[in-house]
Structure 1
């Protein structure tokens, strides 16, 4: 019982923090003859002692009535969610969404819910995804409503549905993905009945648009414990519906560590990447690259005469597969490009410890990574999952040496902005050519020389350009 009392004390403290605004808003709704309740994730987070500045309320008022109540009180108003019954406002640094009671209906075929307004709080709470999100606190009265045992489930750290999970997931299959997302976010365990329904109904996820799946999956991967959520996706078969490459890793043996398969290795790499964020904001690009870095292995697996397994060029195949998958999930092109580049580069470091890298190779490593270099450092370090302490220490020392070498070259040559020693104007003047393809090819040639040999003196760069131009037939 002490756990519940602690949760309630957290909620009171959090609600007092926002009550000057929420109670004032509640009084305005009451004066207009309407109810107003803090609801859903806001109540859950208040009970956990982590209520943020985004507050969710529900009301019996229709959107046009809500607009009339907040007009002249709110510092800003937005109506982008009006067709779903939601009006957004800003007040005293808080972002507030006020949604009319809902009684959503689903036909089992359409990919999105059809919103119908409800007329009471209990029906609204019944249609919510999980019991921990089906609690409400009235304002300004602060009356607590918990018809489905959400507080008890919060204390037990369990994910249950208000209705049967089959009915809940049948209404909106995306809730199955949300169950895994909350497991990752809150480190809660799903009720066995929830897991059974997710497994039996995984194919229903095909009814959901790629964009909605993408958004939920992104939140899952950015959770406090994404590995738990990822395991749920694979174990229930949900991953097969939108990310089959993940479960496809399960049977592949990792050549770096034969005691575990590539699937387990991948989950460790994701966990390592999370740890290297050092408590900062979740880095989706890094985490997604960690998740996808070895997806090219199944297609490139070979077994040698000595029985050793190899995956030659799996980073190339993996980059292609990553691009295809992220495109299918409708990720923005710039995000996809960054993740694909990290996957393509994640193996580049191996071999450095054998002393094969020249300064030219280091320059190319930095130049190819570009702005992604800090993430590439973290991804490469995360990829070291060997249990052999001596080998792990050697790899770590090698990467320390590479970073130190990069820093030295960076100080001398400004590697982040490698450019040819002659710019386009100098090239045109020296060769006597107008703007066009010749200038572009000459610029590229000089950049390759810069990467290979480092900074060149002006006279040396000009001599190299003239030699190249003669060989290409641009000078007589």
Structure 2
């Protein structure tokens, strides 16, 4: 406890330039101000914040006037309907929310917000006790009416009141339980798990966008397996990401295929370990979500062969379609959908490489098809090796090392990253005396295929090949 208090004191000293002055302004105007939620929790965990959340007795109009005096980077009020006004001062970003309570109408996808009267009521409506602590300003008095500091020490997630009441007020909190488990590495109290299981179907009233945002935070957290396992075990995943629990295929009597669900979680964790290979490091949502979804086509494509083996032919293509459909339902952006579904579709491509007998043409096509996702495809393909046979694992790793080396060599020699024919559209039209149109596109595609097969030809050889192709085409 002494160590925790010392960490909090150090963090409050660091935050003093923003906290003390802002607290004084609210006090001068006759209002209370309290630092709440994640910043208080993380101060006890030794983590720093520059984005700070406050709650106040002031109504939004009064908060806005005070923040205009305090900030130097503008005011935003997109959350005004929920009582929230934001402001920036230098590197500090604050959001101040009026004491409130909120609940859901059984038929509504959005909460009904009512402003509250005091801090205790505001803290009591928060999701978990570890997020229901506050520090008052300018006096720095610590408020913990629901035992959050004890739960923080025990690394457990509990609700301030009955979990059934909390989840009834805001069903999204069930997903937040999984997300915080993944972010903090905490366990979830048994009564909370029981309520999540019993009330799972309430999540269907929450908008797809809010569900998506929680899933992204969960998957990008340090311990996503904890959160995903909780979603699957409580039945929530059946409603928000049903493709994942569907991976729990019953094993055949001879145990001749892997546990696909467990394999998927291992691939996700191994992809996380390989994120250092990516240009921006991690966490990388696209790479992680592709790892989670890479085998979702297996349940639909599973076939038992007469000799007792199991096949999943074309599960890569089927899985890409399933992934695209799920991500559209969750309102992901077009770019994210295309990136993840492409990785799912290509995740088996390497295994056609065998022991290293790919031609230069095949390597070029691998790079061309992966496009901007090549680095992530490297990560996913390597992560997808979960065999316990060390000799096989070493062989696969060496073979992929060789493929990456060949890609690097060809990239240096041929500029694979900007792979294009030796002649552009204008040159094609001039050589063939064609106007813009479909035939120019066909000629361009021919030259691109030639470039993939044979590498750079140079303008003269490409011109001759184009004329031969055009003559053959004209004759036919």
The TM-score by the shorter chain falls in which range? Answer: over 0.9
Match of 1:466 in 2: 467
Q: In 2, Cα distance between the equivalents of 1:253 and 1:313?
A: 20
Question: Aligned to 2:350, what secondary structure does the other structure show?
Answer: coil
TM-score between the two structures when normalised by the length of structure 2: 0.96
Could you say which residue in structure 1 is the equivalent of 2:80?
Answer: 82
Deviation at 1:426, TM superposition (A): 1.0
Once the two structures are superposed, what CA deviation does each residue of 1:295-317 show, in whole Å capped at 9, x if it has no partner?
00011111112111110110000
1:274-333 deviation line (CA, Å, top 9, x unaligned)? 111239431000000000000000111111121111101100000000000000111111
Matched residue, 2:99: 101
Contact 2:111 2:170 in 1 (8 A): yes
1:471 Cα offset (Å): 2.1
Kept after mapping to 2: 8 A contact 1:137/1:143: yes
Partner of 1:227: 225
Deviations 1:31-73 (A, max 9, x none): 0000000001111111111121100001000011011112232
Q: Which runs of 5+ in 2 are unaligned?
A: none
User: What displacement does 1:252 show?
Assistant: 5.3
Shift of 1:21: 1.0
Distance 1:115 1:134 in 2: 18
- 2:130 maps to what in 1? 132
**Aligned equivalent of 2:30, options 33, 37, 40:** 33
CA distance in 2, matches of 1:278, 1:435: 45
CA distance in structure 2 between the aligned counterparts of 1:258 and 1:331, rounded to whole angstroms: 36
Where in structure 1 do 4 or more consecutive aligned residues deviate above 4 Å? none
Distance apart, 1:355 and its partner CA = 3.7
Q: What does 1:159-238 correspond to in 2, within 5 Å?
A: 159-238=157-236
User: Counterpart of 1:294?
Assistant: 295
- Equivalent position SS for 2:107: coil
1:45 and 2:46 aligned: no
- Aligned-partner Cα distance in 2 for 1:425–1:229: 54
Alignment partner, residue 330 of structure 1? 331
Q: TM-score w.r.t. structure 1 length?
A: 0.96
CA distance in 2, matches of 1:176, 1:258: 36
Per-residue CA deviation, residues 141-176 of structure 1 (Å, 9 max, x unaligned), is 000000000000001000000011111111111100
Note if contact 1:108-1:171 (Cα within 8 Å) is conserved in structure 2.
no
**For the residues of structure 2 that align with 1:297 and 1:253, how far apart are their CA atoms?**
13
Q: Is the Cα contact below 8 Å between 2:364 and 2:416 reproduced in 1?
A: yes
Post-superposition CA distance 1:200-248 (Å, at most 9, x none): 1111111111111111111101111101111111111000001111000
Equivalent residue of 2:103, what SS? coil
3-state SS, counterpart of residue 331 of structure 1 = coil
Counterpart Cα distance in 2 of 1:5 and 1:15: 15
Contact 2:103 2:168 in 1 (8 A): no
1:15 match: 12
Answer yes or no: is 1:344 the counterpart of 2:345.
yes
- Cα 1:389–1:339 change in 2 (3 A) is same
Kept after mapping to 1: 8 A contact 2:103/2:112: yes
Output aligned runs, 1:422-441, within 5 Å: 422-441=423-442
Judged with a 3 Å threshold, the aligned counterparts in structure 2 of structure 1 residues 223 and 440 are, in CA distance, closer, same or farther, namely same
Query: Deviation of residue 105 (structure 1)?
Result: 3.4
Instruction: Kindly indicate whether residue 70 of structure 2 is the aligned counterpart of residue 73 of structure 1.
Output: yes
CA shift digits 1:436-470 (9 cap, x unpaired): 11111111110010001100022211111011111
1:312-363 CA-to-partner distances (Å, cap 9, x unmatched) read: 1100000000000000111111100000000000000003133441100000
Question: Aligned partners of 1:19 and 1:142: how far apart in 2?
Answer: 10
Measured after TM superposition, the shift of residue 20 of structure 1 is: 1.3
Distance 1:252 1:318 in 2: 19
Q: Quickly say closer, same or farther: Cα 1:258–1:224, change in 2 above 3 A.
A: farther
Instruction: Tell me which residue corresponds to 1:63.
Output: 60
1:381 deviates by 0.3
**Superposed displacement of residue 258, structure 1:** 4.3
In the alignment, which residue of structure 2 is the partner of 1:92?
90
- 8 Å CA contact retained: 1:292, 1:322: yes
Determine the structure 2 residue equivalent to 1:276: 274
Q: Is 1:116 aligned to 2:114, yes or no? A: yes
- Helix, strand or coil for the counterpart of 2:104? coil
1:108 is displaced (CA, Å) by 2.9
CA drift of 1:194 comes to 0.6
| 1:366-445 paired onto structure 2 within 5 Å | 366-445=367-446
For the aligned residues, what is the CA RMSD?
1.5
CA-to-partner distance for each residue in 1:360-396, whole Å, 9 max, x for gaps? 0000000110111000000000000000000000000
Secondary structure, aligned partner of 1:245: coil
Q: Could you list the per-position Cα deviations for residues 73-117 of structure 1 after superposition, in whole angstroms to 9, with x for gaps in the alignment?
A: 211211111111000000131110000000223333322111111
Alignment gaps of 5+ in structure 1: none
Which position in structure 1 is the counterpart of 2:450?
449
Answer whether contact 2:32 2:58 (CA < 8 A) is retained.
yes
Contact 2:39 2:53 in 1 (8 A): yes
Deviation (angstroms), 1:11: 1.2
Native 8 Å contact 2:356 2:402 kept in 1? no
